[in-house]
Amino acid sequence: GYISIAFLYMASRTNALANGYIWNDKLSKISFWSLTIGVLLFTLPTIMIGLEQTRAASEMGYYFTRTREAIEAMDGWMWFRILPDSMMIGGAVGIFVDLFMKTFMGKKEKLIA
């Protein structure tokens, strides 16, 4: 995950330094924090759904937790997952666009003599 992203940025930064490209961190910072906050927010509905399924399994049995009635009771938490999922997708797309622009469409720095 994050180690792979760091390696890609390291390789892209090395390419930018070797070729004299301009380097801007704005999009990479926004994308990184969007991805990180999305991952952290993803844990909230996952924990709540897991606790609800554990409670239902202890009261009604394991088979009940896999039925439509048990899953429909957690429908609100399922819909809440749209927010962190969207943040993670947006962050990943931002990182891809940022790396693509820096690697393949880098602008040369103007040297002032």
Asked if residue 71 has pLDDT above 90, the reply is no
**19 in a structural domain:** no
Range of the domain at 85: 24-104
Q: Would you say 65 and 55 are in contact if contact means Cβ atoms under 8 Å apart?
A: no
At 19-61, the pLDDT tens digits run 888 888 999 999 999 999 999 999 999 999 999 989 989 998 8
Domain count for the chain, please give it: 1
Mean pLDDT of the 88-104 span? 92
Looking at residues 74-97, what average pLDDT do you find?
92
Q: How does the average pLDDT of the chain come out, rounded?
A: 89
Residue 33 lies in a domain: yes
DSSP result, 56-113: HHHHH-HHHHTSHHHHHTTHHHHHHTHHHHHHHHHHHHHHHHHHHHHHHSPPBPPPP-
Inside any domain, residue 75: yes
Name the 3-class secondary structure at 21: strand
* 56 occurs within a structural domain: yes
Flag whether 83 is in a domain: yes
Tens of pLDDT, residues 57-68: 999 888 888 888
Whether residue 10 is contained in a domain is answered as no
Does the pLDDT value for residue 113 go beyond 70? no
Residue 13 lies in a domain: no
Question: Considering the domain boundaries, does residue 16 fall inside one?
Answer: no
